[in-house]
């Protein structure tokens, strides 16, 4: 169980965690199933397809929730994460911005890797 933030409150919940040690940030991600369980339990508002919230300044974390985790939707929300991180470190994006592009690719790959790993754990494989 992890402590995740939602509307300035910390809640204990299962989440996938993508650690970004070079930026001193952790990204907590709720798969559609995890998000539904918490939304039902805590009465959270619907996040449409997905949602990214920035808590870097005070908690050094970003929370991402998905109702649907299609490739396009994951890339969309992870782009917000990249924007939050780059803003926090004072990086100004330019045309052909490689740091942002690499971070986006890493976040998307890590989400799918962690989701697959979590699924294997549940099925004992």
Query: Average pLDDT per run of 10 along the chain, which is 125 residues long?
Result: 62 88 94 89 83 86 92 96 94 90 97 94 76
Short-list 86, 78, 66, CA closest to 105: 78
Q: Domain tally for the chain?
A: 1
Short-list 42, 26, 37, 18, CA closest to 117: 18
Largest CA distance in the chain: 45
Distance in angstroms (rounded) separating the CA atoms of residues 89 and 85: 6
> Which pLDDT score is estimated for 121?
86
> Which pLDDT score is estimated for 100?
95
Global pTM reads: 0.88
Instruction: Name, in order, each residue with C-beta under 8 angstroms of 6's C-beta and a sequence gap of 6 or more.
Output: 38, 42, 44, 53, 63
> Which pLDDT score is estimated for 1?
57
> Which pLDDT score is estimated for 64?
94
The residue segments making up the domain with residue 86 are 2-122
> Which pLDDT score is estimated for 78?
96
């Amino acid at each position: 169980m992890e402590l995740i933030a939602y509307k300035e409150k910390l809640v204990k919940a299962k989440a996938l965690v993508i650690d970004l040690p070079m930026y001193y940030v952790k990204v907590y991600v709720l798969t559609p199933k995890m998000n539904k369980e918490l939304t039902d339990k805590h009465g959270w508002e619907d996040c449409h397809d997905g949602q990214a919230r920035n808590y870097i300044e005070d908690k050094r974390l970003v929370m991402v929730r998905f109702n649907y985790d299609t490739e396009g939707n994951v890339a969309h929300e992870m782009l917000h994460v990249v924007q939050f991180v780059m803003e926090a470190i004072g990086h100004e994006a330019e045309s052909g911005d490689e740091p942002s592009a690499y971070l986006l690719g890493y976040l998307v790959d890590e989400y799918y890797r962690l989701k697959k790993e979590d699924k294997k754990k549940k099925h004992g494989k």
